[in-house]
Amino acid sequence: MPERILLVDDDADFLAALARGLSLRGYVVLTAASAEAALALAGAHGPDYAVVDLKLAGASGLDLIPKLREAAPASRILMLTGYASIATAVEAVKRGAANYLAKPAGTAEILRALEAQALTSLATESVQPLSLPRLEWEHIQRVLAEHGGNISATARALKMHRRTLQRKLAKRPVRA
């Protein structure tokens, strides 16, 4: 019996392309554009794997992970995001994700991450010292998470002007 994989992403084009790539590799693909639809599919089909985007329309992929764990305890969950940071990777693993991967990621890379035994990319990143701009990015992401994504509260906590913080957040994370 082919393995089932649940894809949760609100980007319809990315979802369709990834679903097609996985289908061609022999997986039964279930797609959901929202957290609610993902939970319904997970409860009904018990997928072997789940790929969850961090930012969903009206919800957070981080909040979805424990709910998916409840609905389908045997599934391996991969957190996929375009806004990668060590803080969110650690949080995703704490909540039950088996691995974490930054976008853009291809089908082969996603499958490797799903089949990996542990979160290896985080372990290799933490061995090398981070650059000062990367440390700043990580700190901002951690404070932002502590304030529930509230930009104004985060700017106050960082003693930074809100617009300056918004400009920093609009940039892609710098390399370590």
**CATH fold of the domain at 4-125:** Rossmann fold (3.40.50)
Q: What are the domain boundaries of the chain?
A: 4-125, 128-170
CATH class of the structural domain 128-170: mainly alpha
pLDDT tens readout for residues 129-170? 567 777 787 788 778 878 888 999 999 999 999 999 888 888
Q: Which of 33-42, 66-75, 87-96 has the lowest mean pLDDT?
A: 87-96
Instruction: Report the C-alpha gap between 119 and 99 in whole angstroms.
Output: 5
In this predicted model, what pLDDT tens digit does every residue of 11-64 receive, in sequence order?
888 888 888 988 888 898 999 888 888 888 888 888 889 898 888 877 788 888
CA distance to 36, 119, 126, 134, per residue, from 30 (Å): 13, 24, 34, 36
The DSSP-derived string for 41-107 is HHHHH--SEEEEESEETTEEHHHHHHHHHHH-TT-EEEEEESS--HHHHHHHHHHT-SEEEESS--H
Tell me which H or E stretch contains 163.
Answer: helix 162-170
Asked if 72 and 47 count as a contact pair (C-beta separation under 8 A), the reply is yes
